[in-house]
Structure 1
Amino acid sequence: MWRRVKQVLAALTARVTAADREFVAAWLAPAERELFYAMNLPDQYHALQVAYTARRLAAGRGGVDYGLLTRCALLHDVGKVKGDVSTFDKTFAVLAHRLAPGRAEGWGRAGRGGRIANLRHALHVYFRHPERSAALLAGIGANERLVGIISSHHQPPAPGEPPELTILREADDMH
């Protein structure tokens, strides 16, 4: 629960500095940057924090592609597009998942409309953002490894996964 409180506080105080923008520019191609900046500010801030943490976690671990890891961390939530889900609806989705995870996921449906449709859409985005992110990235011709890692970042760990996926999950769980 404390993690969720931290996330709300981080969202309310989120900002992207000039140094953060330079970091994004250094690691992402122009089309990837467009997707990154199409997220709302709290999601951009979250992705940056995940990237910085992932890089720290990767230090000293062998076999990690730091460039791939950094790009995955910055892009893992691009399926959460600015204006697609309101703050209230996003909060509802988080609470619904916490209180009734199976039912909440089953209730999610793509498509905005009235109040109920918007809530259902928020649940859809909440549970399906990895696939949405992967589809957006595939649509701009992103690297297959990057797309695969991002599409899997909320799935349970499996044998033989790339270390970048393991580290991304760990860093994302910290933020």
Structure 2
Amino acid sequence: MTKRRWRYRVRQFVTALIAGIRLDERVLLVRTLSDPQLLLFERMPRFAQRHSLDVYHALVRAGHTDPHLLQAALLHDCGKVDPNGRTIPLIYYIIIVLLQQYAPDLYQRAARNGRGLLYPFTLHATHEQRSVIYVRAAGSHPDVVQILSDYAERRATPFADALRAADDTS
């Protein structure tokens, strides 16, 4: 991992620790998301909400205005909450990032054997597909579902690529 990438990850972690959502962003959420989508957003931990808003803002700064892409940005990590409301503890993100960078086989093994203390690895490894399921079940527009499906399957489409670029820098 480069020195620049380390600084980015440290900044991302500090931001997660002090994550907050401004009133104008709350208004934006109510205007942008349907009620069922808003419930998906609200289930996420505050740091994940902050990250999703940062992805949204990165897309807007890049000139994106498509409402379905912007909804996808706000909901792309909603699958990091399981059906029972369990989330990935913040400390696990540090471990996940390190394993993905330096020991990807160990990360994959932890994700496959995700019981007990390893469950957050499974939750993380499968969150993109779960996000698609949740967003579809919430009655989202088919374009939102498709963007998240393309994103989860690593298909190179303009919207999935834009979402990935914004996610990687937020």
Partners of 1:4 and 1:152 lie apart in 2 by 25
1:151 counterpart letter in structure 2? S
Indicate the residue corresponding to 1:45 in structure 2: 50
**1:89 partnered with 2:89:** no
Partner of 1:108, secondary structure, is helix
Partner of residue 62, structure 1: none
> Aligned AA for 2:13?
V
Q: Give the secondary structure class of the aligned counterpart of 2:126.
A: helix
TM-score, with structure 2 as normaliser? 0.85
CA distance in 1, matches of 2:126, 2:134: 12
After superposition, what is the alpha-carbon deviation per residue over 1:62-85, rounded to whole angstroms, capped at 9, x for unaligned? xxx621111011111101226422
Q: Which runs of 5+ in 2 are unaligned?
A: 1-5
Letter in structure 1 aligned against 2:62: L
| 1:54-133 matched pairs, under 5 angstroms | 54-59=59-64, 66-81=66-81, 83-109=86-112, 117-118=116-117, 120-133=118-131
Q: 1:145 to 1:110 in 2, by over 3 A?
A: farther
Alignment correspondent of 2:159: 164
Question: How high is the TM-score relative to the length of structure 1?
Answer: 0.83
Match of 2:142 among 144, 158, 161: 144
Deviations 1:124-151 (A, max 9, x none): 1222211111111112222222122213
Identity of aligned residues (%): 28
Q: Distance in 2 between matches of 1:149 and 1:110?
A: 29
Give the aligned CA root-mean-square deviation in angstroms. Answer: 2.0
Q: Show the counterpart of 2:3.
A: none
Give, in angstroms, the shift of residue 110 of structure 1: 7.5
**Aligned pair count?**
162
The amino acid of 2:165's aligned partner reads E
Are the equivalent residues in 2 in contact too, given 1:130–1:152 (CA < 8 A)? Answer: no
Counterpart pick for 1:13 among 11, 18, 24: 18
Shift of 1:99: 1.6
Q: Cα deviation per residue 1:100-128 (whole Å; 9 max; x = unaligned)?
A: 1233123214765xxxx22x221112222
Give ranges in structure 1 of 5+ residues lacking alignment. Answer: 60-64
Alpha carbons 1:58, 1:167 under 8 Å: kept: no
CA shift for structure 1 position 156 = 4.1
| Cα 1:110–1:102 shift into 2, 3 Å | closer
Kept after mapping to 2: 8 A contact 1:55/1:66:
no
SS at match of 2:21: coil
